[in-house]
Amino acid sequence: MTSPLWQRGVTGKRHMKKPLFYFFSPEGNKIPVKAVMRALKNGGKSQAVAFEPIRKLLPAKYLFYLSSGRAALYLLLRALSRIRPDRQEVVIPAYTCPAVASAVLKAGLKVILCDINLNDFGFSRDDLAKKVGSKTLAVVLVHLFGSPADIQFPRECCDKYGVYLVEDAAQAFGNSLPNSPESRLGLLSDAGFFSFGRGKPVSVLHGGILATNLEEISRHAGDLMNTLNHRRFQNQRYGMLLSSYSIFSTPYLYWIPQSIPFLHLGETIFEPNFQVSAGATLAASLMAEICNGIENEKRVRQENTRWYYGNLGSTPHVQSPLNNGFPYLRYPLLVRNKNLRDKILSRLMSRGTGAALFYPVPVNELPKLKELLNDTNVYPNAKQLSDSLITLPVHSGVTDSIRAEIVEIIKKSGY
């Protein structure tokens, strides 16, 4: 049972709004000790060998391994800028991870926000048609929650003006279009990138991959890779991060990092000055180990999605996502209004179920980023999603009793 420790009498406060302690982190990312041991043992292997299992899941002609997903996007945008130096604008969704905006800004380019749609959480067609033009360098389409956003209409908009279409598949590693396992998300456009940070389908706390089939992009990205500073003691630093994570992410100790303010666990913050370097070899070995279990993990996510769907599908005050049985990274549930959403979320969180908010506001309303973007437009669907969304855990740490508790709280809260 994954209830917070305070229920077991540790703090004695039974009716707190926010849990002090979780039995597992809401992202669920357990890094199996066995996988770490094997990765350490294989640490001497070359990166090319370590990457074999990853290549099978990402059959693109060119792959570049960097320190994070945002670093991969940054490198890509710099490569695209070299090819089209006359273009400065990059279109991104108004509801997405702020790291996407930070990569655009760090590359010296201009962020253009576009509203989303509430079906597949991809771009709003009407708004995209207005935002793409002859100044646009790239459109970055995001497969939010790991589920496929429509790619056809963005492709048409991009083709009209000779714009690069990029897929942000940070949350979608290993996922494909429904009924088309060969059509891997992240490999359906000019270039795509993936993240292996916290809360991702394969999470090793480090690393991002840029994938492309286009030789011209790969040539420039390769040149830029060669200019990156080599981080000293990168494997050692990574090893230390991993050790502290594996200790503190255990159920009884997760409250320690969670209560350290500067770690910002579970918060969405804008970080403009991120590091860009090649990825650590040890993390690549660990990714490769964890990749071996990804099909199993996907089956669990599919099964949990089906279960929530079956049990919440007819609940009047919530709306389930479109693709029943898709291996979502988290199950996106829309609640009828913000007050009810806040009430349900607070109950779910106070029980330590692993249910969580996603990004709290549209990109142009996020502190720090707000001042930099200076975009006072309202993006109605982005706003609505940020006001109504709760994401439910579907990972393999979710037990039958957690699922049942989540559904019970949601159903009861509507009345």
Ligand X SMILES: Cc1ncc(COP(=O)(O)O)c(C=O)c1O
Rule CB under 6 A: which residues touch ligand X? 68-70, 96-97, 99-100, 142, 168, 170-171, 195, 197, 208
Of 70 and 220, the one with the shorter C-beta distance to ligand X is 70
By CB atoms closer than 10 A (0-12, 13-18, 19+), residue 69 is: buried
Cα 185 from Cα 172, distance rounded (Å):
7
Pairing of β 318-319 and β 330-335: antiparallel
Query: Smallest distance from the beta carbon of 310 to ligand X, in angstroms?
Result: 27
Of 204 and 344, the one with the shorter C-beta distance to ligand X is 204
Cα 215 from Cα 208, distance rounded (Å):
20
Of 19 and 146, the one with the shorter C-beta distance to ligand X is 146
Contacts of 293 (CB under 8 A, 6+ apart): none
Residue 374 is encoded by which pair of tokens? Answer: 């200076």
Residue 136 is encoded by which pair of tokens? Answer: 């646009």
Query: Smallest distance from the beta carbon of 272 to ligand X, in angstroms?
Result: 13
The residue whose Cβ lies closest to ligand X is 69
Query: Smallest distance from the beta carbon of 65 to ligand X, in angstroms?
Result: 12
Cα 135 from Cα 156, distance rounded (Å):
16
DSSP label at residue 370: H
Query: Smallest distance from the beta carbon of 315 to ligand X, in angstroms?
Result: 27
For 221-224, the CB contacts below 8 A with 24+ separation are 221/62, 221/64, 221/75, 221/76, 221/79, 222/62, 222/64, 224/75, 224/78, 224/79, 224/82
Of 356 and 402, the one with the shorter C-beta distance to ligand X is 356
Query: Smallest distance from the beta carbon of 67 to ligand X, in angstroms?
Result: 8
Of 72 and 409, the one with the shorter C-beta distance to ligand X is 72
Q: How far is CA 410 from CA 311, 319, 330, 388, 414, in A?
A: 10, 11, 16, 13, 7
Radius of gyration of the chain (CA): 21
Other C-beta atoms lying within 10 Å of the C-beta of residue 191: 29
Query: Smallest distance from the beta carbon of 283 to ligand X, in angstroms?
Result: 11
Residues paired with residue 211 on neighbouring β-strands, in sequence order: 63, 192
Query: Smallest distance from the beta carbon of 304 to ligand X, in angstroms?
Result: 20
CA angle 263/267/270 to nearest 5° reads 85
* Spatial CA neighbour of 70 closest among 275, 280, 370: 275
Contacts of 178 (CB under 8 A, 6+ apart): 148, 323, 326
Query: Smallest distance from the beta carbon of 318 to ligand X, in angstroms?
Result: 23
Of 20 and 228, the one with the shorter C-beta distance to ligand X is 228
Query: Smallest distance from the beta carbon of 72 to ligand X, in angstroms?
Result: 8
Of 64 and 307, the one with the shorter C-beta distance to ligand X is 64
Query: Smallest distance from the beta carbon of 3 to ligand X, in angstroms?
Result: 28
Of 277 and 315, the one with the shorter C-beta distance to ligand X is 277
For residue 404, the one-letter residue type is A
Of 298 and 306, the one with the shorter C-beta distance to ligand X is 298
Of 248 and 270, the one with the shorter C-beta distance to ligand X is 270
